[in-house]
Amino acid sequence: MPFDSRKCVKEEFDGFYVRCIAYLDLWKNSFGKTEQFAWINLTKTNAVDWENAETSAEIINSSLLDVPDMKINNDELFDEVVFAKEYLQSNWEQWKQEEATRDVIISSEEKWLRLFGHFKENHIAAPNLIKIFECAFCLPGTSAPVARVFSLMNNA
């Protein structure tokens, strides 16, 4: 492998670890702010709106100051939220009918996958919305797994 390729791969790995550490730091300090990400669950038609997205972006931007590629651009995010809101509102009734017909509940993850699939098919970039989505879905619901790890470490 040529030297330049090694350097490029090393930089990618270094960036990956920096982002992982930043996520862990956010995760560690996130329990007081998790309710600000509740809209990601898409329980209501109007869940995606600018106020919710902007609040989540502020939390992420203030928590991940050391990771420039995680910074959320609010101007771009606004446009992404408008597109997402339009898509979700135009598909909400269809999803409700699908749930009734198939007697299943379409998960929020599935709804987001459909939305991002639609964006990809239509060449709509949504890097800022994706960052919020990633951050929200990496937040733990409880601290039990972490407590278990510390318990195991103390018993070793």
pLDDT digits 0-9 by tens, 110-122? 999 999 999 999 9
Residue 22 located in a structural domain:
no
pLDDT at 69: 76
* pLDDT tens for each residue of 51-100: 999 999 998 888 776 777 788 999 999 999 999 999 999 999 999 999 99
Q: How far apart are CA 72 and CA 35, in angstroms?
A: 19
Residue 20 located in a structural domain:
no
- What is the tally of structural domains in the chain? 1
Q: How far apart are CA 122 and CA 117, in angstroms?
A: 9
Residue 151 located in a structural domain:
no
Residue 27 located in a structural domain:
no
Question: Does 2 or 117 have the greater pLDDT score?
Answer: 117
**Measured CA distances, 67 to 39, 144, 147 (Å):** 24, 27, 27
Residues 86 and 49 sit within 8 Å (Cβ to Cβ): no
Question: Does 153 or 111 have the greater pLDDT score?
Answer: 111
Looking at the whole model, is its pTM more than 0.75?
Answer: no
